[in-house]
Structure 1
Amino acid sequence: MKLTKKLFGFINEQPVTLFTIKNNKGFEVSCMDYGCIITEILAPDRFGKIENTVLGFGSLEEYEGNSYFLGAVVGRFAGRIKRGSFNLEGNVYQVKTNENNNHLHGGHKGFSHVLWDSKVIKCEHKTAVEFSYFSPDGEEGYPGNLKMKVVYTIYNGSNDLVITYSGISDKKTLINVTNHTYFNLSGNLERDILDHELTIDSQQFIELNEELLPTGNLVPVDHSVFDFRQGRKISDGVESNHPQNILVGNGYDHPFLLNKSETHAIVLVDHESGRKLVLETTEPSVVLYTGNNLEGSYSTEGVELQNYLGVCLETQSPPDSIHHQHFQSSIVREGEVFKSKTKYSFGLI
């Protein structure tokens, strides 16, 4: 295993470090202590050509203004909270509203736009970077002094990235975190992700309203472009006239409830390159976002950001769960340890 560190820039005169871990198969992951952002994941195609499979920026300044959350850990709460307001044990809390009148991905800074402490953990067959962050009581409006840890682990002999999350608060609070990496398995952004084939072991998705908030309705996927159980191209949803696809900008931005009976809940494939990504998670759902609104003034790897250039697979509890009792809860009690784990395995078809 090879690990390198380099200075990526400064935030408020504090250095930002970029870590790169490379295993004996050439698989390589780069991440930094600003937002726990993953900047690159290099993986081989069917011919052994090793290329980048995620979207990332070339400078810290671009990440500071990163409204797309490229590669970042988002929290305390991933997804939206209606009006940024919730009630815990009779206490009403108002968290920051940063998307219209709603709360999104932790607020103005959340976990994605702050500097984390970091340390490297080396073992014989694996290397990890452990990030830790103390979120004080009242930050972004959330209750509780929260100690968070995020660990990225790479292994020799397998092209796997394992992300583990843990947190503990001194007050009852909400915790729902995820990684917001945009994947593109074509390699170095050779193509968009419309022809990527996705399989999700899910029988239901959560319906959204015009503010992209959950309505609370759990919709069966049967006989629709939301049925990924046998695999389908992402383009199916982009070209669909289903009202839910049109609502989110022609594509997907929906939570899918995962079937816990299956080990490999999510599989993404690019048939042209031969690359395959398999996700296994402890989380009850995944938010599928197909980059419907990526088009803008940013560029990545010399390619201007465009819609459908990457796909997010955000393993998490359902958004706005505090307002829907039949969703899995994201309430964490005082002194209770929050834990979550997602494994990303890069292989070939």
Structure 2
Amino acid sequence: MQGKSAACGLWLAATMMSAPALAQTTAERHAMGQLADGTAIEGVTLSNDRGVRATIITYGATLQAFEANDRDGNFADITLGFDTAAEYEAFPNYFGVTVGRYANRIAGARFALDGEEYTLTANDDPNSLHGGTTGFDKRVWEIVSVSDGPVASVTMALRSPDGDQGYPGNLDVRVTYTLDHGGDLGIVFEATSDAPTIVNMTNHALFNLAGAGSERDAMGHHLMIPASSYTPVDQFLIPTGELRPVAGTHFDFTDWRLIEAGLRDGRDEQLVLGRGYDHNFALDKGVTATPELAARLVDTESGRMLEVLSTEPGLQFYTGNFLDGTVRGRDGQIYRMGDGIALEPQKYPDAPNQPAFISARIEAGETYRHEMIYRVSIVPGAGE
């Protein structure tokens, strides 16, 4: 099913049944255990009546589970993760977390703003990764509101003080998760600072559409990313500043491509440097006022399809290259390289140090906003 498969075209032509006008989705608040110091962690589960359910926990404002039916009606979690809050604390692998202040890498753990240089915590030597040593993924967030209705939702909030991990400005942050009847899990990130600063937030879910407990990894999925270019990286996985065309390379996902096709091609220096895919794609759509398509992912065997939509200009595609079999996740499953993939919409990596990239700066009093959607659906099988 490589490339221009007619089957993929049929999948995209398939439409979902229209939702009843008054369909309700529910939000249930519940305990999720505690951290090592005894801090209680809560969870909120958003559910609709079509077999889609998402659980968000206050530790890291984390998408702890995202469950959906397959073509045969089998219900499974399609994300990698842990069963308890304590495991998220003990084994920090960014599974499903809210990433901030700055998603991805900042070179040398430093950047300049208005002539002043700021030094960040370096947790990816020599870089700062995903907000530093104690990023938003390792904080306990406050539940602000929970609601049922045609769209169920939970909003969580956090204050990041001036100097937090080296970043300037007091930053007030909110993340709102919503679930509608059709299967759209929306995530809205908002942040306001009292001083000029940089912000770049996203969700870091790792997906395997075969479902939790499956013996199949995610490398057999098919992926489409509407991006004509990507940002190649150096040996520290920092973008070189080049926007390189994907045409004719293993990075061309403008049409359906099997993820594992070419993944181990040692002649491609970028795949060697990334130990697989760990690269930002420059989406053709750029920055948009409302979420537009950033990626489509399909598992042909289960029939599950995931679409990622976003208002941001970039998408980090990561094939779980640093999963090495030393961590046991949900249901005791050992996670290895390729068991899940991340599709993280965001600003470009290291944008604060690369003036040619779209800026991640916000001014005092300005509201940063990133709106994204994980949309799940079922595609018909062969002959259907």
What's the TM-score, normalizing by structure 1?
A: 0.96
**Matched residue, 2:352:** 322
Deviations 1:114-140 (A, max 9, x none): 000113332530111101000000111
Query: How much does 1:237 deviate?
Result: 4.0
Instruction: Give per-residue Cα distances to partners, 1:220-274, cap 9 Å, x unaligned.
Output: 001011000011011024222311011111x200000001189433100000100
Choose 257-266 or 120-129, whichever is displaced more: 257-266
Matched, 1:178 2:202: yes
Q: Does 1:336 align with 2:366?
A: yes
C-alpha distance in structure 1 between counterparts of 2:370 and 2:306, whole Å = 19
**What is the CA–CA distance in structure 2 between the aligned matches of 1:168 and 1:321, rounded to whole Å?**
19
**Once the two structures are superposed, what CA deviation does each residue of 1:165-190 show, in whole Å capped at 9, x if it has no partner?**
10000010110011000000002241
SS at match of 2:271: helix
Question: 1:243 corresponds to which letter in structure 2?
Answer: E
Which of residues 253, 269, 274 is equivalent to 2:298? 269
- Give 2:315's aligned amino acid: V
Letter of the 2:309 counterpart: E
* Equivalent in the alignment of 2:10: none
Please give the alpha-carbon distance, in whole angstroms, between the structure 2 residues aligned to 1:114 and 1:95: 17
Instruction: Give the aligned partner of residue 17 of structure 2.
Output: none
Amino acid at match of 1:293: F
Paired residue for 2:46, among 21, 24, 28? 21
2:29 is aligned to 5
Secondary structure of 1:260's counterpart equals coil
1:117 aligns with 2:147: no
Q: Which residue of 1 aligns with 2:376?
A: 346
AA aligned opposite 2:272: I
Q: Matched residue pairs, number?
A: 347
* Residue of structure 1 in register with 2:92 after alignment: 67
Q: Deviations over 1:82-124 (max 9, x none)?
A: 1111111111111111111210000111100000011333253
| Distance (whole Å) between structure 1 residues aligned to residue 152 and residue 332 of structure 2 | 30
C-alpha separation in 2, matches of 1:237 and 1:332 = 39
Q: Does the 8 Å CA contact 1:120/1:127 hold for their aligned counterparts? A: no
What is the CA distance between 1:348 and its match in structure 2?
A: 1.4
The answer for the alignment partner of 1:89 in structure 2 is: 114
Give the Cα–Cα distance (whole angstroms) in 2 for the partners of residues 347 and 82 of structure 1: 38
Q: Please, which moves more after superposition, 308-317 or 9-18?
A: 9-18
Among 160, 163, 166, the alignment partner of 2:187 is 163
After TM superposition, the structure 1 stretch with the greater mean CA deviation from structure 2, 39-48 or 115-124, is: 115-124
**Is 1:53–1:189's contact at 8 Å kept on the other side of the alignment?**
no
- Alignment partner of 1:64: what SS? helix
CA distance in 1, matches of 2:61, 2:91: 13
1:21 Cα offset (Å): 1.4
3-state secondary structure, aligned to 1:176: coil
Distance in structure 1 (CA, Å) of the matches to 2:346 and 2:144: 25
Q: Answer yes or no: is the 8 Å Cα contact 1:137–1:143 preserved in 2.
A: yes
Q: Which moved more, 1:53-62 or 1:135-144?
A: 53-62
Is residue 292–residue 311 contact of structure 2 (8 Å, CA) maintained in 1? Answer: no
Any conservation in 2 of the 1:269–1:275 contact (CA below 8 Å)?
Answer: yes
Q: Is the 8 A contact 2:316 2:345 kept in 1?
A: yes
Shift of 1:25: 1.2
Q: Please tell me whether residue 103 in structure 1 is matched to residue 133 in structure 2.
A: no
Q: Distance in 2 between matches of 1:96 and 1:139?
A: 9
Q: With structure 2 as the length reference, what TM-score do the two structures score?
A: 0.88
Identify if the C-alpha distance between structure 1 residues 22 and 288 changes in structure 2 by more than 3 Å, giving closer, same or farther: same
Instruction: After TM superposition, list the pairs within 5 Å mapping 1:133-212 onto structure 2.
Output: 133-155=158-180, 157-190=181-214, 191-212=216-237
d(CA) in 1 for partners of 2:188, 2:292: 17
> What secondary structure, in the 3-state scheme, does the structure 2 residue paired with 1:235 have?
coil
Structure 2 residue identity aligned to 1:286: L
Equivalence for 1:248: 274
AA matched with 2:273:
L
Q: Greater CA deviation, 137-146 or 9-18?
A: 9-18
Separation (CA, whole Å) in 2 of partners of 1:272 and 1:38: 25
Q: Distance in 2 between matches of 1:112 and 1:188?
A: 22
Cα distance, 1:218 vs. partner? 1.0
- Judge conservation of contact 2:227–2:284 (CA < 8 Å) in 1: yes
Structure 1 counterpart of 2:319: 290
Is residue 310 from structure 1 mapped to residue 345 from structure 2 by the alignment? no
Deviation, 1:292, is 1.2
Output the CA distance in 2 between the equivalents of 1:20 and 1:35: 15
Query: 2: distance between equivalents of 1:93 and 1:228?
Result: 37
- Structure 1 distance, partners of 2:165, 2:262, is 35
8 Å CA contact retained: 1:189, 1:309: no
Which has more strand, going by share of residues?
1
* Higher mean C-alpha displacement, 333-342 vs 2-11: 2-11
Question: 2:93 & 2:140 partners in 1: Cα distance?
Answer: 18
